[in-house]
Amino acid sequence: MGRRYMPLDAARGFVMIYLCTEGFGLSKLQGGAGAARVASWFDHVRWDGFVPWELVMPSFVFMIGAALPFALARREREGEPFSRTLRHALRRTLILILFGQMLWSLYAGRYRFDPIETLTQLALSYLGCLLILQLRFRWQVVAAAALMALNWGLYAAFPGPQGAFDPTAAVGIRIDRALFGLDHSYDWQVINFLGSTVTVLFGAWTATLLRSGRPQKEKLTILAGAAAASLLAGLALSPFIPIIHKCWTASYTFIHTACVLAMILFFVVVFGAERREKYALPFVVVGMNSIFIYLVSNSLSGGWLDPTLAVFTGKFWFLGMAGPVVQAWAVFLAMWGLCYWLYRRRIFLKL
C-alpha cells in the first residue's frame, strides 16, 4: 500500500481534537456537582483507577506507532539501508526530546529538565519500538511480553513501604530521585517508557494489519477480536496488577489498547471506503499535522491564544456553564484553521 491510509489519519486527528480541546471542552464545565463530576472525568486520577482522560496520552502514543509501518515501508521501497533509517530515528528521538524539554521549561517559566515529559517519553518509546520491529513477529511478541513483565517485576521486586505500587516510594519514583533529583510522588516516572513502548508496538501491529492484503472483513474481525481480548486481559490482570497510568502497568496497557482499537475500528468502518474518505477531512487536517498542533496547543493556546480570543468572545459568558466549553472549541477552531492552511499547501511538520 503506497498511499496514506485515511482512516488512521482521521483517527489520529480525533485523538488530537480530544487532546487539544481537553476532552471536547468538557473539562471546562462549571456550575454544580454534576458539571464538576463530568469535568473530573477529563483530568487524570491521582494514582490508581481509570477515567476517560487516561486515554489521551496512550492514544497519542499508539497512533505514533501506527505511522511506523508506513514510514518503514516507504524507506524500504526507496532502497534505504537500515543504518540510515536508524540515524534518522536517533535524530528524531533527540529532536522530540528537545522540543519536549522546551515545552516543559515554558510551563515552569524557567529551564527545567524532566524525563517524564510526554514528547520525551514518546521519543524513547518510538526508538524502542523501531528496534523491536526489526525482529521476526514471534520475537516481537516475546519482547512486548518481556517489557510488560520487566515493568511489573521492577515494582514487585523493589516495593516501597506501602507495597509495590507505593505512590510516594515505588521503585520508579526512587529511581527518579536518585538519578535526577526529582520527586515524582503520585506522578509519572522515567521507567514508564517500558510500558509505553509496548503501546507504540501495538500501534505498529495494528497498522501492519490494516496495510496488509487481507480482506477488509477479516481485518475488521481481527480488530474487534483484539479489542475484546485486550479488554478481557486488562480486567483479568487488574486484581493482581492495578490499573495505574502513572506506572503504565500491564493492566492499564491492555485496557487502553482495547479502547484505542475500538476507536480505530469505528474509523475504519466509517471512512474505510474510498468514496467516504472526503467526509474525514475535518479529522485528517489535524491528524496529518499532529506534532504541529500538539506544539501549538501546548505552547500558545493557554498563554496567548485563549486570552486573545477571550477579548472578543468574553469566553461566551452569556452561555452560562457551557461558556467555557464553547470557548475551548473556539480556541481549537483557530488552531484547526492553521492546520487547514498548512494542509491546503501540503505543508506537514515531520521531525
pLDDT of 45 over the 90 cut = yes
What is this structure's pTM?
A: 0.94
Phi/psi at 75 (5° precision): -65, -35
Under 8 Å between Cβ of 194 and 151: yes
Alpha carbon distance 133, 121 (integer Å)? 18
Residue range 66-118, pLDDT digits in tens: 999 999 999 999 999 999 999 999 999 999 999 999 999 988 888 889 999 99
pLDDT of 304 over the 60 cut = yes
Residue range 247-281, pLDDT digits in tens: 999 999 999 999 999 999 999 999 987 778 889 99
Three-class DSSP category at 247: helix
Alpha carbon distance 2, 126 (integer Å)? 22
Q: How many other C-beta atoms can be found within 10 angstroms of the C-beta atom of residue 287?
A: 28
Residue range 3-37, pLDDT digits in tens: 678 999 999 999 999 999 999 999 988 778 888 89
Q: Which amino acid is at 101?
A: Q
Helices (runs of H) and strands (runs of E) counted in the chain: 14, 0
* pLDDT the model gives residue 133: 97
Under 8 Å between Cβ of 207 and 69: yes
Question: What does the mean pLDDT of the chain come to?
Answer: 94
Q: How many other C-beta atoms can be found within 10 angstroms of the C-beta atom of residue 288?
A: 23
* pLDDT the model gives residue 107: 81
pLDDT of 228 over the 70 cut = yes
User: DSSP E strands: which ranges in 162-260?
Assistant: none
Residue that has been written with the C-alpha cell 513502548 in this structure: 197
Residue that has been written with the C-alpha cell 521549561 in this structure: 105
Residue 4, classified by CB atoms within 10 Å of its CB into exposed (0-12), middle (13-18) or buried (19+), is middle
Alpha carbon distance 249, 215 (integer Å)? 34
* pLDDT the model gives residue 39: 93
Alpha carbon distance 114, 2 (integer Å)? 39
* pLDDT the model gives residue 3: 64
Measured CA angle at 60 (ends 264, 34), to 5 deg: 85
Compute the 3-state secondary structure of the chain and give helix, strand, coil in percent, each to the nearest 5. 75, 0, 25
Of 169-178, 221-230, 292-301, which range is least confident? 292-301
* pLDDT the model gives residue 2: 46
Average pLDDT on 154-170 reads: 97
Residue 274, classified by CB atoms within 10 Å of its CB into exposed (0-12), middle (13-18) or buried (19+), is exposed
pLDDT of 1 over the 60 cut = no
Mention every residue, 6+ apart, whose C-beta is less than 8 A from residue 25: 324, 325, 326, 327, 328, 329
Mention every residue, 6+ apart, whose C-beta is less than 8 A from residue 299: 103, 106
Under 8 Å between Cβ of 62 and 203: yes
